[in-house]
Chain A
Amino acid sequence: MVLMAERSDTEGRPTQYAVIDCDIHPNLATPDALDKYLDPRWVQYRKTIGGRGFSGSYYPRAFPNAARHDSWPPNGMPPSSDLNFMRYQLLDAWNMDFGVLQPLLGSGGQRNLEWAAAHAAAVNDWQIETWLDPEPRLRSGLVVPYEDGDLTVKEIERCHAHKSFVQLMLAIRTSEPLGRRKYWKMYEAAEAYGLPIGIHFGGQGGYPISGTGWPSMYLEDHAGMSTAFQAQVISYITEGVFEQFPKLKIVLIEGGFAWVPVLGWRLDAAWKKLKFEVPHLKRKPSEYLAEHFWLTTQPMEEPPIANQFLEMLDMAPWLQDKLMFATDYPHWDFDAPDEALPKTKLPAGFAEAVMAENARALYKLPVTAGGK
């Protein structure tokens, strides 16, 4: 039996709230779409070697391009590679104020760091020409070769003046825990230019996707990615990154958030007994968590009793100012703007904050834009 979604979201229904979508994945129309932005040396490299990341993701993925069945444009292009169809199916359909792009093209996970840097630069130039300049509602993450600090700073210096880049874009699976000093040059530059660090589900860092080896199933990868997010939060806080870079902001994208209150408790309990080891921490770990982290909503946490969502929020009240709506378009686990929020009486202002205003404040976006 093939299980199909009961409704198509192609015909969106505008919600009563303004909407900013913090997780949209643009795709290349063709495999050679980046060539015009690459030095001939790298065009030849792409054609002869191709991407060389870390191997090991062999489990059978459930959906072609991880995409919704209805996201393939009628013109035959790949899902989310055609701006006009994205406008029709997403930005216009839901009357969105803004959408933030997260290109998942693998730049940062390349083992050849010079290729990672060239690829990231090409992706950014492609983003500007294909998406950001033609569509004023779009913003994006600046793709960086995050495994090398110098190359990352170089790309930030090259592109930060383009104001459509509202954050850096990393993947959650990195080669070292992200709090470690290897990444501090990146944070120094990001803090100096006021760019948050956006970190998305996935990536490759050379290690299994669990802390105890490779799992077998896509189900484990998908439900288990939150363990990578937890490990990175733990690293950021315990390494003292926020003492070193007090203005740094971290955005966790597609990692869930129901684990956040509990992780705060666990960190505080451990720190209380082991603070000797981390004297650079001046405050309780949960205070850094509340101050420095933002989280996107999709896939929205869905307790069986909707009111338990509110209980979870009360366990870390700061989440109300830090959760930011996301659809994950065009992926199969899309959260629709009119269906995503829990069906229960929400705190006053919560829906407005989560659907748009938290993101508007973080990314300093204007009150109205093309969609409104």
Chain B
Amino acid sequence: MTVYPVAPQVPGGLNFGQPVIDTDIHCAVPSPRALFPYLTDQWREYITTSAFKGPNDTPYPGGAATSALAGTKPEDGPPGSSLKLIQEQVLDAWNVEIGILNPSYSVDSISAPDTAAAMAAAVNDWLINDWLAKDSRLRATMVIPTRVPEMAAAEIDRVGDHPGIVQVMLPAVAQSPYGQRRWWPVFEAIERHNLVASLQFGGASGFPMTPAGWPSHYVEEYVDMAALFQSHLLSIISEGVLDKFPALRLSMIESGWSWLPGFFWRFDKVWKGLRRETPWVRELPSEYIKDRMRFSLQPLDLPDDPVIVQQIFEQLDSDSLLMFSTDYPHWHFDTPEGALPVGLTDAQRSRILYDNAASFYGFGRYAR
């Protein structure tokens, strides 16, 4: 008896009649051994003989319907671990000109700093050699040992200039809000290498992910995650990160975005009342967000109502914020058409599919 929806098959893809940039494709490390070519003898020996087999924390439980569409699992690894399947099911299926890989590998859960740094470096080298080198359509988000920001900055300096590395992964569940000064060496390095700081769904900080402690269910964690992005945006703007690093840009991946209008209203209003606390913040918080941040499209968290979709676009007061994403292999939509909100204008559709991401990352005809 099936009493709950199991994830449906990959819904195929769609040719939109124009090139597409997919800003959220999750690739997975198939096994610790896949990283062995990029680890020193010391760490190979340690992984082989100790209980440590790499991080096993995950924001995406393997059996949860949201975690993987049927048909995304290759024979010999987890969903997202096969280049061939990603080529077939994402890049070819959706006519993707450029796709950004977001490795779902919780390096941030590793408490030992040297281990975290070694594993992060191995994942980044694996991305470069096993993915970026094999398909010119791919770009990647690099991972960092988040718990020691100076080591994170060193890793950004090591691989950040690789042309396929476009941004740095900052998991949403972090040990402190990303505006705080402990993170500034990371932002300095990101800005130095002309990368994007990318806040993404997930994170294994070891601390509860709600202001009232640990929730009981995965479905709660999943819904709660949007609020963590809200906390980071409050922090990043209030602490003056965007003034301190004037070239810094940020992407919010799998954050949801239909909550932005209400968030703008509240943040802007409270800032007006309390702005003497943060004199370096020189314009409305919502203006910083619209200027410097972009959001991946999925999950939509919207009803299939074209009137509401257009109202929210007007409330956002920007056509530039959203970047197309399939969020492969996760389940958000059942038909290819469900990848986009209903009732978009041609101009909105085209910007979401291509221009917003291309201009933000400097891809294609927006190359800098």
- The dominant DSSP class at the B interface is loop
Give the residue name and chain of the B residue nearest to A310 (CB): B311
* Among B174, B176, B261, B263, contact of A308 (Cβ-Cβ < 8 Å): B261
In the bound complex, do residue A223 and residue B212 qualify as a contact, i.e. CB atoms below 8 Å apart?
Answer: no
Residues of A within 8 A of B303 (CB): 265
Q: A179-206, CB under 8 A of B: which get 1 and which 0? A: 1100000000000000000000000011
In the bound complex, do residue B211 and residue A173 qualify as a contact, i.e. CB atoms below 8 Å apart?
Answer: yes
* Among B5, B175, B226, contact of A272 (Cβ-Cβ < 8 Å): B5
A7-B14 Cα distance, complex, nearest whole Å:
58
In the bound complex, do residue B234 and residue A256 qualify as a contact, i.e. CB atoms below 8 Å apart?
Answer: no
In the bound complex, do residue B224 and residue A234 qualify as a contact, i.e. CB atoms below 8 Å apart?
Answer: yes
Residues of A within 8 A of B302 (CB): 265
In the bound complex, do residue A177 and residue B220 qualify as a contact, i.e. CB atoms below 8 Å apart?
Answer: yes
* Interface-located stretch among A26-34, A36-44, A124-132, A210-218: A210-218
Give the residue name and chain of the A residue nearest to B303 (CB): A265
Given A224-B234, A273-B65, is A258 in contact with B331 using a C-beta cutoff of 8 Å?
no
Query: Interface size (B, Cβ < 8 Å)?
Result: 74
* Interface-located stretch among B25-33, B41-49, B82-90, B201-209: B201-209
Q: Counting CB contacts under 8 A, is B37 at the interface?
A: no
Q: A286-310, CB under 8 A of B: which get 1 and which 0? A: 0000000000000101111000100
In the bound complex, do residue B261 and residue A234 qualify as a contact, i.e. CB atoms below 8 Å apart?
Answer: no
Residues of A within 8 A of B211 (CB): 172-173, 205, 207-211, 227-228, 231
Residues of B within 8 A of A259 (CB): 259, 262-263
Given A220-B231, A279-B3, is A274 in contact with B212 using a C-beta cutoff of 8 Å?
no
A263-B219 Cα distance, complex, nearest whole Å:
13
A304-B66 Cα distance, complex, nearest whole Å:
36
In the bound complex, do residue A224 and residue B301 qualify as a contact, i.e. CB atoms below 8 Å apart?
Answer: no
Q: Counting CB contacts under 8 A, is B367 at the interface?
A: no
**Which of the listed residues A180, A209, A224, A271 has the most CB atoms from chain B within 10 Å of its own CB?**
A224
In the bound complex, do residue B271 and residue A223 qualify as a contact, i.e. CB atoms below 8 Å apart?
Answer: yes
Q: Counting CB contacts under 8 A, is A238 at the interface?
A: yes
* Interface-located stretch among B94-102, B274-282, B289-297, B356-364: B274-282
Residues of A within 8 A of B18 (CB): none
A133-B66 Cα distance, complex, nearest whole Å:
55
Residues of A within 8 A of B262 (CB): 256, 258-259, 262, 301, 312
Q: Counting CB contacts under 8 A, is A239 at the interface?
A: yes
A25-B48 Cα distance, complex, nearest whole Å:
62
- Complex A-B: 5 CB contacts under 8 Å: A211-B208, A213-B174, A220-B234, A223-B234, A273-B66
Query: A residues within 8 Å of B by Cβ?
Result: 2-3, 60, 62, 172-180, 205-220, 222-224, 226-228, 230-232, 234-235, 238-239, 256, 258-259, 262-263, 265-267, 269-279, 299, 301-304, 308, 311-312, 315, 332-333
